[in-house]
Amino acid sequence: MSQIPLLCVFLFAFLSQSICLSKLTPKNHGSKIRGMFVFGSSILDNGNNNFLPNSLAKVNYSPYGADFPLGPTGRFTNGKNVIDVLGEKLRLPNYIPPFNDPSTNGSKILHGVDFASGGSGILDVTGSIAGNVISLNQQIRNFESATLPDFELQLGEKSTKIMSDFLFVVGSGGNDYSLNYFRANNNITLQDFTTNLTTTLSLQLKRLYDLGARKFVLMAINPNGCSPIATASFPTRDCVRILNKAFHMFNSNLKNLVDAIRPQMPGSNLVFVNTYKVIRDIIKSPSTKGFRDVNSACCEVGPTGVLCKRGGLICKNRSEYVFFDGLHPTEAVNYVIANKAFKSNLKSEVYPFNVKRLSEIYV
């Protein structure tokens, strides 16, 4: 008789764990990925800045989200961002929720959390011009101190056992140039600044590795020197070379980091997604890729020249525009980037292989 209660307890524990694990497993054939943890700046921000007081980098208003099912959510585009589209490709069951949303806890975090913050950078000092933003270091601390304990509470086991089933997407660095290096009066050379930036990022990636991350997707900096806010400052309509030179230098370092850092993180796999090249190719030959306007913002921009004017006008043919506001790409471009990231076989676009292959690797 005494064995029956023990058997019941065992069965209850087994079934409880099975239910938790079944919630974690999306129906994605071939993929080992159960979700994504996302770190970076506005390109990847799913709405974290909405909940930050005194932040100037908020887009929780119309016309942002004009083509998104949930309307304006804090995404810096008219519809889905790259993370949303990658989630579709991986067949994840829902959008990745923003960390700062008070409702992002419990079962809502089982397929990942988005920590990205518009206006932030790899360096802690970057983004102060945008008011209150969350640096990459703080994003990682939020993951460690809040999300991981909650995750373990949901699973009933150490999270490190299952972190290898998640993609860790990191996309930061652009603001470190635009809102830091090129705005400051410093004596450091562009090369030295870029080296320091890459070294700092490598330490941040190692910290994520120590917390259980094994599959990384590293996003390049976009060719922001071709954005409307950049070209508006110069008489020509060409891309601003000094800006793109900086971004290209960082991206080269980032690609090299994929090979350099892996031996220091046993069991890890990293993929570099060259969004710079993908967007640059569209700008060079837009008509062949279904685009028409590569120079103008689709929306009516405000005084800063970057963000859309609240309640302002927007273009009707948004799928033909590269830029939605003065800096950020449209949903149409985000689809091109995500599709390339997921299935391209060109090492100039994804290195050393694509996200689909990364998702199928068993660790």
Contact partners, residue 241, CB within 8 Å, separation at least 6: 225
pLDDT of residue 27: 45
Judge whether 8 lies within some domain.
Answer: no
Q: What is the pTM of this model?
A: 0.92
From the list 178, 325, 344, 359, the catalytic residue is 325
CB distance 219 to 275 below 8 Å? yes
CA-to-CA distance for 263 and 171, rounded, in angstroms?
22
Judge whether 98 lies within some domain.
Answer: yes
CA-to-CA distance for 177 and 283, rounded, in angstroms?
22
CB distance 38 to 83 below 8 Å? yes
Residue-by-residue pLDDT tens, the chain, 363 positions: 444 443 333 333 333 443 344 455 444 456 789 999 999 999 999 999 999 999 999 999 999 999 999 999 999 999 999 999 999 999 999 999 999 999 999 999 999 999 999 999 999 999 888 889 999 999 999 999 999 999 999 888 787 778 999 999 999 999 999 999 999 877 899 999 999 999 999 999 999 999 999 999 999 999 999 999 999 977 666 899 999 999 999 999 999 999 999 999 999 999 999 999 999 999 999 999 999 999 999 999 999 999 999 999 999 999 999 999 999 999 999 999 999 999 999 999 999 999 999 999 987
Sheet holding 112-114, edge to edge: 112-114, 35-40, 166-171, 215-219, 269-273, 350-351
- Amino acid identity at 74: G
Judge whether 146 lies within some domain.
Answer: yes
Judge whether 183 lies within some domain.
Answer: yes
Does residue 325 have an active-site annotation? yes
278 CA to centre of own chain: 16
pLDDT of residue 307: 98
Judge whether 18 lies within some domain.
Answer: no
Contact partners, residue 51, CB within 8 Å, separation at least 6: 98, 100, 101, 102
Judge whether 121 lies within some domain.
Answer: yes
pLDDT of residue 7: 37
- What are the CA-CA distances from residue 191 to residues 8, 194, 247, 250, 350 (Å)? 64, 5, 11, 9, 24
pLDDT of residue 155: 84
Judge whether 15 lies within some domain.
Answer: no
From the list 42, 159, 227, 344, the catalytic residue is 42
CATH number, position 190 = 3.40.50.1110
Does residue 328 have an active-site annotation? yes
Number of domains in the chain: 1
Note down the domain range covering 87.
Answer: 35-360
CA-to-CA distance for 243 and 240, rounded, in angstroms?
6
Does residue 67 have an active-site annotation? no
